[in-house]
Chain A
Amino acid sequence: MRPATLGLRFAILAAFAVFFAAPVLWLVLAPTKADHALVTSSPFSFGSFHQLALAWKHLNAFSDHIYRRWIGNSLYYALSATAITLAVGVPAGYGLAFGRFRGRKLILSSTLVVMIIPGAALVLPIFLELNAMHLLGRSLSVILPFAFFPFGVYLAYIYYSTALPPGLLDAARVDGCTEAQAFVRVALPLAKPIVALVFFFSFVADWNNFFLPLTVLADSSQYPIQVGLSDLLSSTPSFNPAQGGGGQSVNIFRPELALATLLAIVPVAIVFLLSQRALVRGLVGGAVKE
């Protein structure tokens, strides 16, 4: 390829890299500066660790340590729901890929339909259902709806139907494996990429969900961090000059808000770091090379 073309390619990629990276870099640096320094100093300068500690002190003190609670709640909701999703969804995908039973097509197509229906559209009816089940305001009212993750089932279905040759299962059966044994000995060991993939999508979706917990939880001490952040936003004068007095009394200004945002994404960032390779391998690679 000609050097000019290569240079142009690189320039385009680099410009997008700035667009993607600059806000992240700003967010990492912002909590190290005092509120006024955010306005006066260069946006990408580093303040001090002292300021960072101070910002954490303010954030932690906000509303009786509620910030740590929100993070804890988020971990609890997202991890429990994802565990259920995996335990239920991976075998279901396998069953749909290799099972032969009446209603298989029906289950598969309703999974597809529900998958295309965005979660938010069903929040209101789910709210009413949970109300009828007397679950509103309890952690189950978040965990159970989160645990239903048709996309995970569909991913497992695609994965098993493309990556696992039926011949392998037939061979296992010929060798005298029962259906359960064939699943445990042949399909589960191959499931690693799909488990990583479903874990990734489910955990991230649950962690970031805002609408459902906002609707079904009553008390702010039960909020996951995403809803908590919006609570925090309304008590800061950063974007809300009318909140000036409020900001003074709770000590939540821009650095604290930036720190709250930054810490809120740490678990997802870790999952992201760990999953990039698995994501590609799981989605487009197969266990069997042609």
Chain B
Amino acid sequence: MEAARKRGLHVPRGLPFVLPYLPFLVVFGLAPTAYALDLAFTNAGGGWAWFHNFVRTYNDYRFMPAFKHVLLYTSVWLATLVVLVVGLALLLHGRANRVSSTFRFVFYMPGALAGAAAVLVWLFMLDPVVSPGSFFLRHVLGATLFAQAIAPANLPYIFAMIAFWTGAGGWIVVMYGALNTIPHDLEEAARIDGAGPIAIALRLKLPLMRKWIAYMVILSFATGTQLFVEPQLVNQASLGLVPDTWSANQLAYQLAFRYADFNGAAAIAVDLLVIGLVGAVLIVTRTGLFRTDD
């Protein structure tokens, strides 16, 4: 049956639906990628430069701190995201519907405040003078001044918290939706077989969420390493206490637009790309995310 259908499909079809998309894919997807690679391996005059740009930017005193910041931030954020999103979705699943939908809504709403808006809100939240959490800031973190709250060493954690605050709710909603696709009888059968709520969560629910968890991690990992707007705004708000090259992307931006060093900037962009791709490949191969055969 399957083979018979496949044999009938020799006629090329569907291409016209895809054609309008191709110029976009080429001009704003593939060409910039190729261009970034080209720039990274050439010098300002266009000559082949081997790994010169990579070595040069690597030796820049701002390079290591920027990449360390970004990687620390990304790992803190991803760990929090996976543990808490999965945990909260499981806690929500199985609650009375109205309670659960109220919680989901509350978790989800801060997602509307992404980017610059989220940073501004959290700049207020981190200013002990006006923050509703000022007790926490003063007595738990020991920060009585705004400058202490946003001390450079705190920033990876602060940015991870902001990202969690804006992004987690959407994923919780998605995971919760995935949990709802579990047929009721299946859960019932497991219960009759003597499985407790934890066993059901681990053996039945978690595998169902696997695909979405992997997906969440891939997307978040890639965007995490590209951190830009958050440190940029904190730099503005901190009177230069936080350098304008705090994250890798900021460093690339400064190289390109302050020093007109597009080759160096491209080398950093390629570094980030490689990190993102390696991360994605690891996640895909570990989880079978894009497996299509089952």
CA distance A23 to B118 in the complex (A): 10
CB distance from A52 to the nearest CB of B (A): 17
- The reply on A61 being an interface residue by CB < 8 A is no
A250 contacts the other chain (Cβ, under 8 Å)?
no
Least distance between B7 CB and chain A CB atoms (Å): 12
Chain A nearest CB from B183 CB (Å) reads 9
Stretch at the interface among B30-38, B44-52, B56-64, B151-159: B30-38
**Measured between C-beta atoms, what is the minimum distance from A230 to chain B in Å?**
6
Cα(A209)–Cα(B141), bound, Å: 32
Asked if B121 and A261 sit within 8 Å, CB to CB, the answer is yes
Does B86 sit at the interface, judged by CB under 8 A? no
Within A241-290, the residues touching B (CB, 8 Å) are 241-242, 254, 257-258, 261, 264-265, 268-269, 271-272, 276, 279-281, 283-285
A84 nearest CB neighbor, chain B only: B24
Chain A count of residues within 8 A CB distance of the other chain: 96
Distance of A127 Cα from B131 Cα, bound (Å): 39
Chain A binding site: helix, strand, loop or mixed by DSSP? helix
Q: Are A116 and B262 in contact (CB-based, < 8 A)?
A: no
A47 close to B (CB within 8 Å): no
A40 to B200, CA, bound (A): 51
Q: Check A230 against B233 for contact (C-beta < 8 Å).
A: yes
Does chain A have a CB within 8 A of B29?
yes
B29 and A100: CB pair below 8 A? no
Which of B132, B253, B266 is in CB contact (< 8 Å) with A43?
Answer: B132
Which positions in A face B, CB cutoff 8 Å? Answer: 1, 9-10, 12-13, 16-17, 19-24, 26-27, 30, 38-39, 43-44, 87-89, 91-92, 94-96, 98-102, 104, 107, 110-114, 116-122, 124-129, 144-145, 147-148, 150, 153, 166, 179-180, 183, 204, 208-211, 215, 226-227, 229-230, 233-234, 239-242, 254, 257-258, 261, 264-265, 268-269, 271-272, 276, 279-281, 283-285
